[in-house]
């Protein structure tokens, strides 16, 4: 027994000594650049469960969103390091310096995307989000032409039709519409828009209430469950999912099956149509690439790549918009003076209350300012989920709130200290880098009163564009940015022109202060994107 005990203690001691030397090498590799030194990563199981930091153990979960720029302020510069010891010694560099971020996003080959972190998004097949290098180039060549001015006009026109359908056939003559959570309004709108403008699938509000023959779930519900509970699909093994131990898990299994069935029906319907219409949507570009032998000298899309890209654009095209609009309506409801400024600006362009046109989109500058300020305060940064082993599948889902990169070679980044001097940060090959979007968007060096809702800051000609990263940057910036903006401005402009938005009065919160109400209704949680928890609103028809 003593021999066994001695063996165990010796093995443990050797492990500790080995790990200590690895830790010291990591510290020297970055020349001990200031930052955190903890036993466990804040992305690990303990950080995820505890949320709050424990000195020397973990920095706490959801930290980038909870602390925003505070970690950078504490060390006095806009790049800080993080070294953790277990389960392995790991270096991470967090960046909230606009110049350094521009350097990273401009030099894509030097700072590539770690696609392994996006394995969760490849359930249906490889896609443009979960790819890099030549594979990404192929997907981008196929999809980029769909995001054209012609398609943007289609987005605007279809959004107007969807909003009019909501006003006339759903809300009708009611003077007041109450919703327990605004996402119940913004989610279907966003889904209808990406459905028709991206995939040629027109859905009305009444159609969406009906489950089609041969299906167990509506298209909207299937996509919503997939985007909400995709983590369960990743964490729970397939054999366990199929057992369906709970109603929620059974719904997830059904939703994934149903979504795949819907996507296959969309593909077959377009492929077998007798009349081949000339279309300019994303779906047509993907289908053409699947049917052709080659795309600009590269192999055509496989069936799995076709499904994978349809899925990722459906997912990204509805969830990001729905959440951003939900936060937008919430902020306008809280800040009535800003809502009134927006309303008066809209009236100055369409005083007769008519439907706004796409040609007028660039005139709605205050609408864009409100939209951008929402994106600054609540960036739709997609947490990425890396589950590298069966053990970690069971233990936790690792999440990064930011834009991940890594260094393909030994290099350096430069930032400035609060005292004004340049600081050179060594970046060893293979180091993980996170473009810390909350830290950037709340950076007081570039944004006056960064925690305040001030849309007018985006009306200034010299607003800090390099410190605004909701769509990423460089070659890998969001292809659908104009699609997203067009849809968002059309929805916001039409709704505010006809309805006043207010926070719902609830008796149990009658005594709360403005700051308490703001904290309550603007709560967010971790999801595929930053997700509002509950936004209870009232829409009152304007007279």
Q: Known binding site for heme: residues? A: 478
Place of tokens 């990406």: 194
Strand partners, 423: 415
Which helix (H) or strand (E) is 400 found in, with range? strand 398-400
Backbone angles phi, psi at 290, to 5 degrees: -80, -30
**Coil vs helix vs strand at 190:** helix
- In angstroms, the Cα distances linking 309 to 127, 196, 285 are 5, 16, 11
- In angstroms, the Cα distances linking 468 to 330, 376, 383 are 21, 7, 18
510, burial (CB in 10 Å: exposed 0-12, middle 13-18, buried 19+) = exposed
**Is 139 within 8 Å of 309 (Cβ atoms)?**
yes
**Rounded to whole angstroms, how far apart are CA atoms 208 and 210?**
5
Tokens representing residue 118 in the block: 């996006």
Place of tokens 């994107």: 529
Q: Is the dihedral of CA 36, 41, 42, 47 positive or negative?
A: negative
**Is 414 within 8 Å of 142 (Cβ atoms)?**
no
**Is 92 within 8 Å of 82 (Cβ atoms)?**
yes
CB neighbourhood size of 472 (10 A)? 18
**Rounded to whole angstroms, how far apart are CA atoms 221 and 144?**
28
Residues forming the annotated binding site?
Answer: 478
DSSP state of 478: -
Residue ranges of E strands in 59-202: 79-84, 90-95, 176-179
Place of tokens 């890998």: 476
**Rounded to whole angstroms, how far apart are CA atoms 497 and 365?**
14
**Rounded to whole angstroms, how far apart are CA atoms 37 and 62?**
17
Question: Taking each helix axis from N to C terminus, what angle separates 336-349 and 303-334, rounded to the nearest 10 degrees?
Answer: 110
Q: Is the dihedral of CA 209, 213, 219, 224 positive or negative?
A: positive
Q: For the chain, how many residues are written?
A: 543
- In angstroms, the Cα distances linking 328 to 321, 325, 379, 478 are 10, 5, 11, 20
Name the CA radius of gyration of the chain, rounded: 25
Q: Which of 146, 150, 137, 151 is nearest to 295 (CA)?
A: 137
Tokens representing residue 13 in the block: 């001691």
């Amino acid at each position: 027994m003593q021999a066994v005990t001695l063996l165990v203690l010796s093995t443990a001691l050797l492990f500790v000594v080995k790990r200590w030397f690895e830790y010291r090498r990591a510290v020297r590799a970055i020349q001990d650049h200031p930052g955190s030194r903890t036993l466990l990563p804040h992305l690990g199981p303990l950080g995820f469960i505890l949320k709050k930091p424990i000195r020397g153990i973990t920095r706490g979960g959801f930290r980038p969103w909870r602390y925003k720029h505070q970690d950078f302020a504490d060390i006095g510069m806009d790049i800080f390091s993080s070294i953790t010891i277990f389960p392995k010694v790991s270096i991470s560099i967090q960046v909230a310096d606009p110049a350094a971020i521009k350097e990273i996003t401009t030099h894509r080959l030097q700072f590539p995307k770690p696609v392994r972190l996006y394995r969760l998004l490849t359930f249906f097949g490889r896609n443009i989000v979960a790819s890099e290098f030549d594979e990404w180039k192929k997907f981008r060549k196929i999809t980029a032409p769909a995001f054209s001015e012609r398609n943007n006009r289609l987005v605007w026109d279809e959004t107007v039709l969807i909003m009019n359908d909501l006003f006339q056939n759903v809300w009708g003559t009611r003077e007041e519409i109450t919703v327990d959570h605004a996402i119940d309004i913004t989610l279907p709108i966003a889904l209808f828009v990406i459905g028709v403008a991206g995939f040629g699938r027109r859905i009305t509000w009444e159609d969406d209430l009906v489950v089609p023959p041969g299906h167990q779930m509506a298209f909207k519900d299937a996509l919503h469950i997939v985007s909400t509970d995709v983590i369960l699909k990743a964490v729970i093994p397939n054999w366990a999912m199929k057992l369906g131990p709970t109603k929620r898990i059974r719904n997830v299994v059904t939703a994934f099956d149903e979504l795949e069935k819907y996507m296959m029906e969309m593909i077959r319907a377009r492929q077998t149509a007798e009349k081949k219409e000339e279309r300019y949507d994303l779906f047509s570009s993907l289908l053409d690439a699947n049917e052709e032998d080659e795309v600009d000298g590269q192999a055509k899309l496989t069936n799995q790549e076709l499904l994978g890209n349809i899925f990722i654009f459906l997912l990204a095209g509805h969830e990001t918009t729905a959440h951003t609009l939900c936060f937008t309506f919430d902020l306008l409801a809280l800040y009535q003076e800003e809502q009134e400024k927006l309303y008066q600006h809209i009236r100055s362009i369409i005083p007769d209350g008519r439907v706004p046109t796409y040609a007028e989109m660039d005139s709605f500058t205050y609408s864009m300012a409100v939209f951008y300020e929402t994106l600054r305060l609540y960036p739709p940064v997609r947490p990425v989920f890396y589950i590298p082993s069966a053990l970690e599948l069971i233990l936790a889902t690792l999440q990064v709130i930011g834009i991940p990169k890594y260094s393909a070679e030994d290099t350096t980044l430069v930032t400035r200290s609060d005292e004004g001097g340049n600081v050179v940060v060594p970046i060893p090959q293979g180091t993980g880098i996170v473009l810390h979007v909350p830290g950037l968007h709340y950076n007081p060096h570039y944004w006056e009163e960064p925690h305040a809702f001030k849309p007018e800051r985006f009306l200034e000609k010299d607003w800090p564009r390099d410190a605004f990263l909701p769509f990423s940057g460089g070659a890998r910036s969001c292809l659908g940015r104009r699609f997203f903006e067009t849809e968002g401005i059309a929805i916001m402009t039409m709704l505010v022109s006809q309805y006043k938005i207010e926070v719902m009065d609830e008796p149990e919160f009658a005594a709360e202060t403005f700051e308490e109400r703001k904290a309550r209704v603007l709560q967010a949680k971790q999801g595929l994107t930053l997700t509002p928890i509950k936004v209870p609103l009232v829409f009152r028809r304007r007279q």
